[in-house]
Structure 1
Amino acid sequence: MIEQVFKIEGAIKVKKRGFGIVERYQGQGLTLPKRSTKQAAGYDFAAAEDFALPSIWKSGFVKLFWQLKHGTPLKDEDYVQANKVLKPRLVPTGIKAYMQEDEVLILANRSSNPLKRGLILPNGVGVIDADYYNNDQNEGEIFFQLVNLGVRDLVIKKGERIGQGIFMPYLKSDQDDGGTAERLGGFGSSGR
């Protein structure tokens, strides 16, 4: 069980889920995620720094479409260039999250991002496991994978909301063996 224990005016208080700022962003004016309204399920995450998010409609991607339309044979370097343009970017939040062993933090896009800004999460949702917190590789920093479908590059400003996180319990199957591996790294480390 992951718990945060704090002393508050002589009393010990156990916290079950919440957020912290990773060490490399300490003292840089970041705020912890919070819900915007009383009924909001999601905690709003913001960018930890200014971040340039290029449009996918640049360089090799448009060339690839043109070649496909005109029946021009594609070369390996055409695919490599297109993959560089289409690759999602990891926008840092400077935030880490702790929770109970049977909980998960689901990362979702803001509903306004696709319509107003052309921003999508290419994986649909992100999953932050309880053992991601304070991992050795990146201290459990949460990143949002984003792709800019707009025709112009976009600069996300520090403090600008980029997504939301929802804490949820999860269930295990009858056949669950409890998992055998320990997390060895940070982002993407449980899918090796």
Structure 2
Amino acid sequence: MTLIVKIRRENENIPLPEYATAQAAGMDLRAGEDLVLEPGQIAGVGTGLYIELPEGYEAQIRPRSGLALKHGISVPNAPGTIDADYRGEIRVILVNLGREPFPIHAGDRIAQMVVAPVTRVSWQPSETLNETGRQSGGFGSTGTR
């Protein structure tokens, strides 16, 4: 699949999202601006990218595991969703769950983007549902071991 991308002029020197390995599911998104994310702070970080997704697809924005583990940097609405009809700038909502300020520089890899097909559903009301072995068990009902 080929995506059409528009790049904000001041971000033309920042590499486009790319897969870090041959079998990576997500492409690394890079910051398009400099900022410092203070502990507990949530910020929308611009990427300088605008994309045109085909109908029937979405782009999911996910945290980078290394940033989460080492610095407590995450995406609080993970996965964030970019709909096929959105044409604004891709902005990544980041939160600093760590104890130290976290500097972000234009070009830093800040999140992952996964492009995935979307399944649309219609509803069929019913008085009953098929039975399963689990039924309504949830929130730890299957145990921890």
The TM-score bracket by the shorter chain reads 0.7 to 0.9
Once the two structures are TM-superposed, the CA of residue 20 in structure 1 deviates from its matched residue by: 2.9
- 1:170 has 2:118 as partner: yes
Counterpart contact for 1:16–1:100, Cα < 8 Å: no
1:141 to 89, 110, 119: 89
Which structure has the greater CA radius of gyration? Answer: 1
Q: Quick check: which one's helix share is greater?
A: 1
Relative distance call for 1:20 and 1:43 in structure 2 (3 A) is farther
- 1:20 has 2:2 as partner: no
Specify the alignment match of 1:158 in structure 2: 106
Once the two structures are TM-superposed, the CA of residue 17 in structure 1 deviates from its matched residue by: 2.2
CA distance in 1, matches of 2:58, 2:104: 27
Counterpart contact for 2:64–2:74, Cα < 8 Å: no
Specify the alignment match of 1:121 in structure 2: 75
Counterpart contact for 1:20–1:32, Cα < 8 Å: no
Structure 1 ranges of 4+ moved more than 2 A: 15-20, 24-27
Cα deviation 1:80-137 (Å, max 9, x = unaligned)? xxxxxx5x2011111122211110001101111111111111112110011112xxxx
CA distance in 2, matches of 1:97, 1:164: 15
Q: Which runs of 5+ in 2 are unaligned?
A: 124-145
- In the alignment, residue 106 of structure 1 is paired with which amino acid? Q
CA distance in 2, matches of 1:109, 1:94: 18
User: What is the identity percentage for the equivalent residue pairs of Structure 1 and Structure 2?
Assistant: 37
CA distance in 2, matches of 1:164, 1:19: 16
Once the two structures are TM-superposed, the CA of residue 157 in structure 1 deviates from its matched residue by: 1.5
CA distance in 1, matches of 2:115, 2:5: 11
Specify the alignment match of 2:127 in structure 1: none
RMSD: 1.7
Q: How does 1:1-192 map to 2 (within 5 A)?
A: 16-22=2-8, 24-25=9-10, 27=12, 29-56=13-40, 88-133=42-87, 140-175=88-123
Once the two structures are TM-superposed, the CA of residue 35 in structure 1 deviates from its matched residue by: 0.6
CA distance in 2, matches of 1:151, 1:174: 45
TM-score between both structures, scaled by the size of structure 1: 0.59
Q: Which runs of 5+ in 1 are unaligned?
A: 1-14, 57-85, 134-139, 176-192
CA distance in 1, matches of 2:72, 2:103: 12
Cα deviation 1:17-69 (Å, max 9, x = unaligned)? 243313x5354x1221111111011111011121111112xxxxxxxxxxxxx
TM-score between both structures, scaled by the size of structure 2: 0.77
Relative distance call for 1:18 and 1:41 in structure 2 (3 A) is farther
Cα deviation 1:156-184 (Å, max 9, x = unaligned)? 11211000101111111135xxxxxxxxx
Secondary structure at the aligned position of 2:55 is classed as coil
